[in-house]
Structures are given as C-alpha cells and as structure tokens.
C-alpha cells in the first residue's frame, strides 16, 4: 500500500502542474483585453494532453484517477474509441466488469476494428463469469489482421484455458 501512496505523491502533482499550465494558456488575453481565440489545433493538443495524463495514471495503477481523467476526455470527445477502451481497462482495474464491458462495447461500435477493445471485452466477460462470451470476444481479437500483436499468444492461451474450463464444467 505504501508504494501506491508514493506513486500518487509523485504523479499527481506533476499532472496538476501540467493541467494548470494548460489552463493558463487558455486564459491569455490580447493587449486590448479581448480573449485570445483558441484554435482547433490548441484544443486538440489539450485533449491529447488530458488523454495522455489519464493513460499515465492507468499505467501506474491509479485506476480511480484514470477513470476521472478518461471521463473528462469523453466529455469533450465522446466519439473517441481509444478513450472508451482505456476507460474500460481502468474499470477492469477497479473490478467493475459490467461497466467496463459497456465501454468496450461502445469502442467496438465506434470502431469495429479496435482490437484492444475485444481483448478488454473478453476480460470483462471473464470477470462476469461469462466464458462463452469471453471466448467469442477473444477469438475476434485473435483473428483481427494485426497477427503480430504482442498479446496474440496471451489471447490464444486464454481461449485454450477458458475452453478447457468449460469442458471440465460439462463433465
């Protein structure tokens, strides 16, 4: 537990500083007192920063904070499948399988070829005890064109294990 607290004390202040600086950048005014218009490029950069910050929190196991970050991103960009997928993985970290499944489903609706969404969907189904659905989702992941994906072997192994477990249940 101590390591978790130590990470928070180092990661969160850095993220807050970046967020505050980004916010201050939006508040600059022309010498006339008129607000500076933000460009689409600037808005995209800020969105990208927020997304990357949430990803960093997810990678550090700070799932609650990652969920908050992805929520903010999705308020601005609800059609961003990558944000849906990463929100799903953050929710998996919190063992909120039903909600995670919903986000993975949304990602596959937005972009049917979003491979990591099927991987996460399979894990969510497993967490809910839905092995046939987990196998189907993982097979979809394994059959997507990106056959050299680093997680393909893990996917094939999971399918094998889940099929063996289903077989043992039937006996």
> What was the pLDDT predicted at 31?
40
Structure tokens at 54: 């949430």
What would you report as the CA-atom Rg of the chain, rounded to the nearest whole angstrom? 20
Per cent of the chain over pLDDT 90 is 66
Quick check: is 3 in a domain?
Answer: yes
Structure tokens at 4: 């978790």
**pLDDT tens digit string along 38-75?**
557 888 899 999 999 999 999 999 999 999 999 999 99
> What was the pLDDT predicted at 147?
57
Predicted structure pTM score: 0.75
Q: How far apart are CA 158 and CA 74, in angstroms?
A: 30
State which of 16, 44, 78 marks the end of a domain. Answer: 78
Quick check: is 91 in a domain?
Answer: no
Domain count, the chain: 2
Give the domain range for residue 130: 97-171
pLDDT confidence band for 28 (50 / 70 / 90): very low
> What was the pLDDT predicted at 12?
53
88-99 CB burial, b ≥16 within 10 A, e <16: bbbbbbeebbee
Residues 132 and 72 in one domain: no
Q: How far apart are CA 155 and CA 135, in angstroms?
A: 9
67 close to 48: Cβ distance less than 8 angstroms: no
Q: How far apart are CA 108 and CA 85, in angstroms?
A: 9
118 close to 91: Cβ distance less than 8 angstroms: no
The DSSP result for 9-76, as a single string, is HHHHHHHHHHHHHHHHHHH-B-TTSPBPPPPHHHHHHHHHHHHHHHHHHHHTT-HHHHHHHHHHHHHH
The CATH number linked to 157 is 1.25.40.10
Quick check: is 86 in a domain?
Answer: no
Residues 114 and 159 in one domain: yes
Q: Does residue 163 have a pLDDT over 60?
A: yes
> What was the pLDDT predicted at 6?
52
**pLDDT tens digit string along 94-125?**
999 999 999 999 999 999 999 999 999 999 99
Q: Does residue 146 have a pLDDT over 70?
A: no
Torsions phi, psi for 35 (to 5 deg): -65, 145
Residues 103 and 151 in one domain: yes
> What was the pLDDT predicted at 156?
92
């Amino acid at each position: 537990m101590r390591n978790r607290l130590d990470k928070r004390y180092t990661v969160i202040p850095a993220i807050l500083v970046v967020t505050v600086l980004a916010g201050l950048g939006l508040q600059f005014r022309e010498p006339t007192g008129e607000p500076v218009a933000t460009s689409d490029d600037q808005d995209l950069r800020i969105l990208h920063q927020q997304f990357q910050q949430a990803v960093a929190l997810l990678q550090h196991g700070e799932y609650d904070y990652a969920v908050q970050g992805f929520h903010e991103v999705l308020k601005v960009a609800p059609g961003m499948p990558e944000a849906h997928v990463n929100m799903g993985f953050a929710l998996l970290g919190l063992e909120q399988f039903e909600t995670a499944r919903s986000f993975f489903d949304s990602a596959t609706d937005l972009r049917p070829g979003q491979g990591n969404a099927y991987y996460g969907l399979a894990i969510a189904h497993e967490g809910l005890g839905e092995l046939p659905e987990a196998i189907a989702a993982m097979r979809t992941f394994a059959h997507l064109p990106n056959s050299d994906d680093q997680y393909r072997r893990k996917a094939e192994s999971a399918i094998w294990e889940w099929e063996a477990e289903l077989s043992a249940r039937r006996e």
